[in-house]
Structure formats: structure tokens, C-alpha cells
Amino acid sequence: MAIDSRTMESARGLVANRTRSNGPDLDSGDGASLSIAAGRHGRRDAWCTAIATTLAFAAGLAIAHAVTDGFEAYTLESARRLQALRAPASVPDLALVLADDGRTRLSGMPGRVLLVDFVYTRCPTYCVALGSVYARLQRRLAPEIAAGEVRLVSVTFDPARDGPAELRAYRARHSADPAGWDLGRPARAGDVERWLAAFGVVVIPDGLGGYAHNAAVHVLGPDRKLVAILDTQDIDGIAKAARRAAGRQAVHVAAR
């Protein structure tokens, strides 16, 4: 929704016409003429104000239309989720050092579909909830995990404090079974921002030694495109999206 040059020129022409037609005639020099001129000036100013207000309102609508994805997204978070659904984008083949030893890239991780979240192990809020969510997903998607179709991946954005031991302890606090749940940190400290940017994750230091961040589960398909971003508490939706991305949704629907 853009304001093009023709619209702007039409508005300018309208103001100019009104100015010419209502221009004051001060040649007579009498009080009545001055009064009439003042009235015409007032009407012209009001008309100009109305035009300017209309253009400002239209410009505001155009901006709102752009940043809210056609008025369908009301926050940046909802906008990135809509983008993932409408136009899945390839994620860079970033490297990860795993808590269970070894180093891999997204393309080399087991699992046709990856469910990726971002955490830091000292987090007392979102990350605690995410750990519980992944433990539930382990149980819900156990057949898919056992078949190598789905893999859970937690990536820390605080690699300076989250080493292999801290990451394994985080998983152990939520699940006694490590099967199908990989944890890791970016292979290089400088890669943290690349990981966050690739998934649209925003992390802000909270001034107390921790971080504020958006929490979600990101679904990567077999081609490692970001096909969906879901609320952490939407277990049914996450499981459905994982099965659909793995190409097994029809089988599970028929089995219910």
C-alpha cells in the first residue's frame, strides 16, 4: 500500500487551485475586504491542514501495511512466523559443537526434520519452559525420533558460560533420556549472531547477567528450510508440523 507520485501531485494541485480561487483581494483597502480576505485565508489554511492530515494518515497506513505484512501481523514475532509459513527460507549450514562430543553442521545432523530452539542454561523463565516442552516432545514424537525422522536441537546463545557439562545438565534436569535431543553451542563465538539472525531470534542483555529473548520452536524441513515457527506451549501444533514436514502427516491422521 504505497502513495505514488500521481496521488501526491493531485493533492498538491488541489491545494494550488484552492489557493488561486480563494486568494484575497486587498486592492480596495477597506475593512470589509480585509475581513473577507481573512475569512478566505482561514478557509484556505483549514483546507491545507485537511489535505496534509489526509496525506499523513495515508502515509501512516502505508507504513503500517508494510511492517505488519498487510495488517496480518501485529508484532515482529508474528511477522516472522507468517514469513516462515508463506516463504520458507534456507538456513545457512552453520556449525555446532555438540554437548555429547563431536562437531556437526545442520546439514549433517541426523533427522529429516529438526526442531530447533535457543536457550541459555542459567535462564530462570523461558528456557525452563522450553526444557519441559522438549521432554514432552520426546515422548510425543518417540516413533519419529526412533525412525530418524525428527530430531530435537537446543542451541545456546551463551557459549562462554554454557559448555558441554552445563548443556548436558540442562537436558538432564528435564529428561532422563537423552535420545533424540541434541544440545550444542556455535562452533565459534562469532557465529552466535549468525545463528540468531538465521532464525530471527532476538537476544537482549537484561542488565542482571541474563538475557531477554523470544522463545519458539523452529521447524527445519529435510531441505533445511525454515518451514514453521510455533509457540512453545503448542505441543500439538509442533508435533503436527514436524510430521507434516517429514511427510508422515497423512499416516498419523489415518491412525487416529
User: What are the residue ranges spanned by the domains of the chain?
Assistant: 5-67, 87-255
Mean pLDDT for the stretch of residues 170-196: 93
pLDDT given for residue 123 in this prediction: 85
Q: Summarize pLDDT for 29-82 with one digit per residue, the tens.
A: 455 444 554 455 556 655 555 554 554 444 443 444 444 444 343 467 778 778
Distance, in Å, from the CA atom of 73 to the CA atom of 58, rounded to the nearest integer, reads 19
Pick the residue with more confidence: 108 or 23? 108
**Claim: this prediction has a pTM higher than 0.85:** no
Pick from 11-15, 57-61, 209-213 the range whose average pLDDT is largest: 209-213
For the chain, the average pLDDT equals 76
What's the pLDDT band for 176 if we cut at 50, 70, 90? Answer: very high
What's the pLDDT band for 243 if we cut at 50, 70, 90? Answer: very high
Distance, in Å, from the CA atom of 121 to the CA atom of 156, rounded to the nearest integer, reads 8
Pick the residue with more confidence: 197 or 50? 197
pLDDT given for residue 125 in this prediction: 74
CATH number of 87-255: 3.40.30.10
Distance, in Å, from the CA atom of 97 to the CA atom of 187, rounded to the nearest integer, reads 5
Judged by DSSP in three states, 192 sits in helix
Residues pairing with 115 in the sheet: 152, 219
Q: Summarize pLDDT for 111-141 with one digit per residue, the tens.
A: 999 999 999 999 887 677 788 999 999 999 9
pLDDT given for residue 67 in this prediction: 40
